[in-house]
């Protein structure tokens, strides 16, 4: 009986560590999103190019972190609490959709060479970034539901 308690406590500790990693990665991504958005109107210069590339890398790191730090923890059934699993099952399909949109944004912009001739994409970046911002806001709201269930708080 004591070992069951210890195992549950250990799982909760690992769960908290994974959530902290996810939240930190998310904060970094949002900071870089803001930094890139503040470059408006976008120019074909090194500052915008670097901000875009740095943001794309952070965006992929965040999407991967969410998968490995949160959803894999749940899908591998390391997380066993029924309320957490119920929330995760409800929101996970929506999170997958946001992941698809994140990946599409990254695929479109990760290798863009703004300085050497791919300037026409700048006209699309503003609206694509706005749409991505809406996607990130939705994803955060969904993740917060899972995090709330895992930490015993409701969001």
Q: Which domain holds residue 145?
A: 2-151
Report helix, strand or coil for 80.
coil
Q: Given this model, what pLDDT does residue 106 score? A: 97
Compute the distance between CA of residue 59 and CA of residue 32 in angstroms, rounded to an integer: 9
Instruction: Summarize pLDDT for 63-110 with one digit per residue, the tens.
Output: 988 877 777 767 766 677 888 889 988 998 999 899 999 999 999 999
Domain total of the chain: 1
Q: CATH number, domain at 101?
A: 1.20.120.1370
Stretch 118-139: mean pLDDT:
92
Instruction: Summarize pLDDT for 17-53 with one digit per residue, the tens.
Output: 888 888 999 999 999 999 999 999 999 999 999 999 9
CB neighbour list of residue 101: distance below 8 Å, 6 or more residues apart = 131, 132, 135
Q: How far is CA 152 from CA 44, 56, 112, in A?
A: 47, 33, 43
Instruction: Summarize pLDDT for 53-63 with one digit per residue, the tens.
Output: 999 999 999 99
């Amino acid at each position: 009986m004591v070992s069951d308690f210890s195992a549950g406590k250990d799982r909760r500790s690992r769960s908290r560590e994974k959530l902290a990693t996810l939240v930190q990665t998310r904060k970094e991504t949002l900071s870089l999103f803001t930094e890139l958005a503040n470059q408006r109107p976008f120019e074909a210069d090194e500052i915008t190019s670097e901000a875009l590339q740095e943001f794309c890398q952070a965006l992929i790191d965040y999407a991967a972190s969410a998968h490995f730090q949160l959803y894999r923890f749940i899908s591998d059934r390391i997380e066993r609490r029924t309320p957490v699993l119920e929330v995760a099952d409800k929101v996970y399909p929506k999170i997958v959709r946001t992941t698809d949109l994140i990946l599409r944004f990254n695929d479109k912009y990760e290798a863009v060479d703004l300085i050497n001739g791919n300037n026409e994409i700048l006209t699309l970046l503003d609206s694509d970034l706005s749409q991505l911002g809406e996607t990130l806001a939705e994803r955060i709201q969904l993740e917060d539901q899972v995090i709330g269930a895992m930490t015993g708080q409701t969001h």
